[in-house]
Chains A and B, each alone.
Chain A
Amino acid sequence: MMQNDIQNIDSKGPGAASDTLLVAEELRKVYGERVALRKLSFTLTAGRVLGFLGPNGAGKTTSIRILTTMLEPTSGRFFVDGISSHYPERIRRKIGVLPEGLGFPKQINAIAYLTYFGQLYGRPAADAREVGLSLLDNVGLQNRAKSPIGSYSHGMRQRLGIARALVNDPRILFLDEPTLGLDPRGQHELLMLIQRLARERNMGVILSSHLLSEIEGICDDVVIMNAGQVVAHGTVAEVVGQTQLNANQRNAVRIRVPAILIGKAQAILEAVPDVKQVTPADAAAGWLVAEFSEPADGNGHSPEESHPANSLLQALIHAGIPIRGFEAAGGRLQDVFLELTAEVIQ
């Protein structure tokens, strides 16, 4: 009895009985001489979706495997809903995971599969089945509950994987590349489902993905990793804002015109005062990047003065060239991502 009490006290840490669901403190993983993860520290709060970004080999999957107790960190610790990483079995009761490339038995049907996993989490068979049915309804698979999993499309399997990850009503849901291999509609639907589940169930979601534009759309927070270390952490707006982009990016815009008119548009833009250079970014799609000179005071133009970007648009409109897209360079998560990951590689 006393030993149990000590264990309970010992296992409670940061995040216990609060909105903070996950606290990672200086997690490090070394394989032989290779450092796969260096000092990973971040927090996750309830009801929020955290995007876990990084190029291949950045340490995302290693981090997720450590946080889901599949790997032991070489050093550091973490707490899930106040439970210390020293109690992996208790942590597994609090988390749901959709690993990258999760396999499914092909012969059995979805409801039998979910019932089985519900039972592994300690539910009696009848209750596990009922929970399974409600989860299939949640993820939009209620009409295929009795179809063999082998007959499912990739998108349906991913949905089933999410349902499986929810059988224990987790506090945190880990999703490793859930949209990989899905068509654009499938990606969009799955991301909307993830966002809805996070809000409805007030759970924390950690979403690892390469799809930066989609991540930007549904994530509240982001952790950007590169070469095993965190290079940025915060809300999407904070990360985009805090990153020091170079002068060229601060003073550049991307403009999309019809591909057939790209040469003409380039010539027109180059003739605009303050424009340093215009280069095709993606000629086939009609994207041009126009860089203009930095204002002498370094603080931008005065309000009454026309911004060079406006002049660029005016020039194109005046020439009768249709503008199909316009965005400030460096204002997207993708730009920050490319900037940060390139810096560490260099």
Chain B
Amino acid sequence: MNSELAAKGRRIGQQAEVSSRRAPVWWLIFQQEFAELWLGGRALNLLILFSVLLSITAFLLATNADLSLTPPPLAEEILVQAAITFGLFIGLIIAAETVSGERERATLEGLLLTPSSRRQIVAGKFLAALTPWPAAMLLTVPYMITLAQGDPALLPALIWGGLTGTILAAAFTALGLLVSIWSNSSRISLFVSILLYLTCLLPSQLPGQVQATPALIVVQAVDPVEAMNQFLNRVIVNSLPQVGIGSNPGAEDLTWLYLGGVVAVSALIIGLLFVVVAPRLPLEGEGAGFIRSITKRMEASR
């Protein structure tokens, strides 16, 4: 009986080899990861957290608007920036755990032992980790409409916010995956990813006078989060006739420099992931060796 079944299985296998109804590997991985992410509740938990943070931000902006402290275009800009900044974080931390978590659970080896292209494995994981982003954007829209109160800046805020947010979400998801591929431990990859994320937020915390220096403009252009902030500030608030940015042509030039910064840095991160790192997705992360060598050096210096 067993032999018959085994022979049957073998026959089916041979038929399968000539069949053309094969699903691409990236799609299979995507489906698996997607189900795990959404049915496992992780994506949902992060979106609830996202909604809470967005609600707090929107409430503060709305009360300020009532007091006429924050004009609607500025409130929209701040809200869309906040939505993107929180939204990036979701993709980043999901991706940061993707590969290193599989290493910890010892499930990666089984996957790598299949004849699947490693780039496709990474692509499936990347797309799955990106899926909370559209949901986050959809959640943002009602807040934006409520805050805008018919203000004409709503449309550019939604269009440009959606565009730059999507580019940055892809870049930060790719960044999380890069860290995850490098690391053997999900704790380390989460820590490193959060550290990189906070580093990107750092330039926006500097005093206004410093931000105007040429050196910092370069930093702002290459820091994708800050470049996004600067770009959205210009297209949502400064470009409006009532604010009068048209009188300052230099500022307009910088608008596209910042957008270029967002696109270029994102393309670089995504390219690094898919062209250089993904095809060589290793069983063990190189981070382990790196940490070992640091530990050895520290021990030697004592």
Asked if A and B bind, the verdict is yes
| Residue A154 at the chain B interface, CB threshold 8 Å | no
**B109 and A71 within 8 A (CB):** no
Question: How does the 8 Å CB contact mask read for A80-122 relative to B, with 1 for contact and 0 for none?
Answer: 0000000001101101010101111101000000001111111
* Contact present for B40 and A65 (CB under 8 Å): no
Which chain B residues lie closer than 8 Å to A120 at the CB level? Answer: 25, 28, 111, 114-116
Proximity bits, B103-125, A CB within 8 Å = 1, else 0:
00111011111111100000000
Chain B contact patch, size range? 35 or more
Interfacial chain A residues near B1, Cβ < 8 Å:
137
A333 to B28 CA separation, bound complex (whole angstroms): 46
Instruction: Bits for A291-316, please: 1 = Cβ < 8 Å to B, else 0.
Output: 00000000000000000000000000
Q: Would you give the shortest CB distance from A41 to chain B, in whole angstroms?
A: 24
Known: A131-B9, A138-B5. Contact between A103 and B16, CB under 8 A? no
Q: How many residues on A have C-beta within 8 angstroms of the other chain's C-beta atoms?
A: 41
Check if B115 sits within 8 Å of A90, measured CB to CB.
yes
Question: In the bound complex, how far is the Cα of B36 from the Cα of A69, in angstroms?
Answer: 28
CB of A123 within 8 A of CB of B115, answer: no
Is there contact, CB below 8 Å, between A122 and B109? Answer: no
Query: What are 25 residue pairs bridging A and B, where the CB atoms are less than 8 Å apart in the complex?
Result: A70-B113, A92-B114, A97-B109, A97-B113, A101-B106, A102-B109, A103-B105, A103-B106, A107-B36, A117-B110, A117-B114, A120-B25, A122-B17, A124-B21, A124-B22, A124-B23, A125-B23, A127-B12, A131-B9, A131-B16, A134-B8, A135-B9, A137-B5, A138-B6, A169-B13
Tell me the minimal C-beta distance from A165 to chain B in angstroms: 8
Interface presence of A68 (CB below 8 A): yes
The interface residues of chain B, by DSSP majority, are classed as helix
Please report the C-alpha to C-alpha distance between residue A168 and residue B10 in the assembled complex, in whole angstroms: 9
Partner of B28, one of A90, A101, A119: A119
Known: A103-B105, A131-B9. A138 touches B32 (CB 8 A): no
Q: Collect the chain B residues with CB atoms within 8 Å of residue A69's CB.
A: 113
Does B139 interact with chain A (Cβ within 8 Å)?
no
Q: A residues touching B (Cβ–Cβ < 8 Å)? A: 65, 68-71, 89-90, 92-93, 95, 97, 99, 101-105, 107, 116-125, 127-128, 130-131, 134-135, 137-138, 164, 168-169, 200-201
In the complex, A200 Cα to B5 Cα: how many Å? 12
B186 → chain A closest CB, angstroms: 13
Having A71-B283, A131-B12, A137-B2, one finds 15 other A-B pairs with CB under 8 Å, namely A93-B115, A99-B109, A99-B110, A103-B110, A107-B36, A117-B110, A119-B23, A122-B16, A123-B12, A123-B19, A127-B13, A127-B15, A131-B16, A168-B13, A201-B6
Chain B residue nearest to A197 in the complex (CB): B6
On whether the beta carbons of A92 and B115 are closer than 8 Å, the reply is yes
Give chain B residues whose Cβ lies under 8 Å from the Cβ of A128: 16
Distance (whole angstroms) from the CB of B289 to the closest CB of chain A: 9
Q: What 1/0 flags go to B22-40 for Cβ under 8 Å of A? A: 1101001000100010011
